[in-house]
Amino acid sequence: MALRILIADDHDMVRDTLAMFLETDGTAQTLMAKNLDEALKSMRTNGPFDLVLLDYTMPGMKGLEGLKEALLISGGHPVGIISGTGTRLIAEQALEMGAMGFLPKTMPAKSLVNAIKFMAAGEVYAPVGFMSGKEDPPETDFEKTLSEREKQVLRGLMGAKSNKEIARDLELQEVTIKLHVKTLCRKLSAKNRTDAAIMARDAGFV
C-alpha cells in the first residue's frame, strides 16, 4: 500500500519535485499545501498521513510554533521539518519537540526522498554532517545586513521585551536601543517592532 504523505511548502518547485520523486516508483501518494493553515486543514480532513512534512519558513509557521500545532493534531503520526535556512539549533529543538526528522533542502533530491520514506516508516532522521555543525550555514541572508548589536536587540524584540528591558540586558542607554529598533525596522522593511520580530522568527533567526 502506498504511503500517504503531505508536503507543505510555499515553493511550488520544492513541492512538485518531491512529489514527482516520491510518486514515480509508486511507493507514495502525496497531497500538497502551501502554508500552515492549508496543512492543518488537510490533516484534519484528509488525515491521518504516514508523514507530514512542514517547511520551516512557510507562511503561518512562526518558527516552531507551527510544528507544535501540527503535532497536536497528528494523532501521533510522524511530522517532520524541511528547511532551506534552519540551523543545527533549530533542528535540535524540533527533534526535542517530537519532530520525526529535520531535512535541509541542500540535500540531493534522491537523499531527501529516501529520508522522507525513512521518516514515514517511523524512524527519526537527521543528517549527521548537518547535526555535527560541519554544514552549518555561516549566516542566513536575513542576518547579513545586521550588525552584532542589532542582532542582540532583535532577539530582545523576539522575546517581547521593552526598550527599557533590552537596554538593561545589554547595559546600554534606552535611547540607544530606540535608535537600533528604528534602524532594524528600516533594514528589514518592517512596519514596527512586532513586525520585525515576526519576520525574524519566520526567517529562522535565533
Instruction: Indicate the helix (H) or strand (E) that contains 82.
Output: strand 79-83
So what's the pLDDT on residue 163?
Answer: 94
So what's the pLDDT on residue 138?
Answer: 52
Bridge-based pairing state of the strands 102-104 and 79-83: parallel
What the chain holds in terms of domains, given with CATH numbers, is 3-131 (3.40.50.2300), 141-202 (1.10.10.10)
So what's the pLDDT on residue 141?
Answer: 62
Map grid coordinates 514515514 to a residue: 120
Mean pLDDT in consecutive groups of 10 residues from the start of the chain, 206 residues: 90 88 85 96 93 92 91 94 82 91 85 88 81 57 77 90 92 92 90 88 74
Buried/exposed 97-114: b ≥16 CB within 10 Å, e otherwise = eebbbbbbbebeeeebbe
pTM attached to this predicted model: 0.65
Give the list of residues 6+ apart from residue 189 with CB closer than 8 angstroms, or none.
Answer: none
